[in-house]
Amino acid sequence: MNEILDQIRAIVGADHVATGAAIHQDDTHDECLTVTPVRPAGVVRPGTTAEVAAVLRCCNEAGVTVTARGAGSGLSGACVGVPDGLVMAFDRMAEVIRIDVADQMAVVQPGITLAALDDALAPYDLVYPVEPGEPSATVGGTVATNAGGMRAVRYGVTRQHVVGLQMVLASGTVLRSGGRLAKLSTGYDLTQLVVGSEGTLALVTEVTIRLQPRPKARATILAPFADLPTLAAAIPAVTGSGVDPLMLEYLDVLSMTGVTQAAGIDLAVDPAVGTRTNAYLIVALQSRSSEHLQDDVELTGAILTNHGALDVYVLSPRAGADLVTARERAFFAARSAGADDIVDVVVPRSAMSDLLLEAASLGAASGSLVTGCGHAGDGNIHLSIFQPNSQRRQDLIHQIFRHALDAGGAISGEHGLGRAKRDAFLALADPNHLALLDQIKAVFDPRGILGPGVGPARDSRRAEAAPGVSAGTDVGPGGDAQRHDANRHLAGLAGATGEVAP
């Protein structure tokens, strides 16, 4: 490893390679609740695509793994490296390369944060509408996770906005896919294959994104409901009305209490309504003019009232902004309250209510507390699981996953599989699907050096040398035990279904 590190220092400069105690604690983890921080053998910070390519060439020849890292705001452990591999951080590649007003597109480097990109676009009255609730997230990280967030109900997820990439393959080959094009029908779409691939197929060094006009008029409505099924039934009525909401977020009453207390917000809901409320719907509306907006507010209020809302509050701009920010911080409120895991399942919107009821009853049966909030317009549910016993928690989560899959859903709607949900995916997925994913991975990365132990493919060589398995450089407690518990459980699952757990 020392020899490789010397070669890499010669490529990127000694100041941009950290090893041992010089590795910052921030580079050892993301925000995932269940993946143990790991100190990798080195953290490399390239400044150019040519440097990324040269480093990968070197690592590929030596069989050294590379885990890409954006801002480390991910919730699945996907940017956490392994003890005998390298982490490649992209914060030195954070420029806007061009903003094209006529095409409504921009070309940016992957390390730019969403906050910095928004600052750069504001003077042009343009917006990049992907907002995964964490403005420190980078464009590279959001591309690799296909991030969604609260505005996805209107604008779609990252995939809908990425039209071109420059990428570097594990071999060091640099290639481009797509471009500043509104449409493309020229063979396999490599751009879309790499979006959501969690740093396991190629490293992204340039991203071409679609932009939207920046609407100015915005309103926020809060509607309390007596129960989740009534709330869920109101959602298609809103979306089917022609109102095109910017956000449609639900919070159960415990989650709302947690986020408002954490943010110091008083919802000022009539106490007589508050005592009957078990779930809240937040609807954000946005329009090109205040007249249009007013029409939409009135229509939405009427629909919610007709569909069982206990009351409808149109918030002041300040109160609306504060509530949306508080909702964005729901993850931190759940963490402070002691949540042991966060589940990010997605189901068809019409199946959301059933899943929520089933999750609550499965939770009660296992002696766990399950609370939640989520992107109700997308059927994407974030459940906070409070169950300190690892085995019981895994059993519960697997039951929830099975229920979601049976309802036509998926394990993750936006956080990705990373390390945290990978084992569950491998145990529950169709073997033919897995086999094809393995082949795709092998074509892009034959030596399995990118993102070891991360994502959907059973990467060829290194996958099982996951954090905690190699000798002694974990920097946090618990990971080994959790991983082995999960593996035992999954072996049981495989036995029950006839699948072979990897």
Ligand X SMILES: Cc1cc2nc3c(=O)[nH]c(=O)nc-3n(C[C@H](O)[C@H](O)[C@H](O)COP(=O)(O)OP(=O)(O)OC[C@H]3O[C@@H](n4cnc5c(N)ncnc54)[C@H](O)[C@@H]3O)c2cc1C
Interaction site with ligand X (CB under 6 A): 30-31, 67-75, 78-79, 90, 110, 132-134, 137-138, 140-142, 144-145, 147-149, 198-199, 203-204, 329, 331-332, 414-415, 451, 454
Q: Which residue's CB is nearer to ligand X, number 65 or number 67? A: 67
**What CA–CA distance (Å, rounded) separates 485 from 475?**
19
341-375 burial, b if ≥16 CB within 10 A, otherwise e? bbbbbbbebebbbebbebbbebbeebebbbbbbbb
Note the helical H segments in 212-370: 228-239, 253-263, 271-274, 290-306, 317-328, 330-336, 352-365
- Could you tell me which of 393, 449, 445, 387 has the C-alpha nearest to residue 424? 393
**What CA–CA distance (Å, rounded) separates 437 from 502?**
14
Q: Which residue's CB is nearer to ligand X, number 73 or number 191? A: 73
Q: Which residue's CB is nearer to ligand X, number 51 or number 395? A: 51
Q: For residue 173, give Cα distances in angstroms to 54, 60, 164, 206.
A: 9, 11, 17, 14
Q: Reduced to 3 states, what is the DSSP secondary structure of residue 116?
A: helix
Q: Which residue's CB is nearer to ligand X, number 78 or number 238? A: 78
At closest approach, how far in Å is the CB of 409 from ligand X? Answer: 16
Q: Which residue's CB is nearer to ligand X, number 309 or number 437? A: 437
At closest approach, how far in Å is the CB of 201 from ligand X? Answer: 8
Phi/psi for 35 (5° steps) reads: -100, 130
At closest approach, how far in Å is the CB of 113 from ligand X? Answer: 8
Q: Which residue's CB is nearer to ligand X, number 69 or number 483? A: 69
At closest approach, how far in Å is the CB of 75 from ligand X? Answer: 5
- Could you tell me which of 453, 401, 396 has the C-alpha nearest to residue 425? 401
In the chain, what's the furthest Cα-to-Cα distance?
A: 70
At closest approach, how far in Å is the CB of 498 from ligand X? Answer: 31
208-222 burial, b if ≥16 CB within 10 A, otherwise e? bbbbeeebebbbbbb
Q: Which residue's CB is nearer to ligand X, number 141 or number 395? A: 141
Q: Which residue's CB is nearer to ligand X, number 277 or number 467? A: 467
At closest approach, how far in Å is the CB of 77 from ligand X? Answer: 9
Q: Which residue's CB is nearer to ligand X, number 64 or number 310? A: 64
At closest approach, how far in Å is the CB of 55 from ligand X? Answer: 13
At closest approach, how far in Å is the CB of 447 from ligand X? Answer: 17
At closest approach, how far in Å is the CB of 206 from ligand X? Answer: 9
**What CA–CA distance (Å, rounded) separates 330 from 332?**
5
Burial label for 316, CB within 10 Å (0-12, 13-18, 19+), is exposed
The answer to whether residues 209 and 163 touch, using CB atoms and an 8 Å cutoff, is yes
User: What is the CB neighbour count within 10 angstroms for residue 396?
Assistant: 24
Q: Residue 276 has which token pair?
A: 């009957």
**What CA–CA distance (Å, rounded) separates 429 from 411?**
10
Q: Which residue's CB is nearer to ligand X, number 141 or number 479? A: 141
DSSP for 200-249 reads SS-EEEEEEEE-EE---EEEEEEEEESSHHHHHHHHHHHHTTT---SEEE
Full 3-state SS string of 12-46: HCHHHEECHHHCCHHHHCCCCCCCCCECCCEEECC
Q: Which residue's CB is nearer to ligand X, number 133 or number 258? A: 133
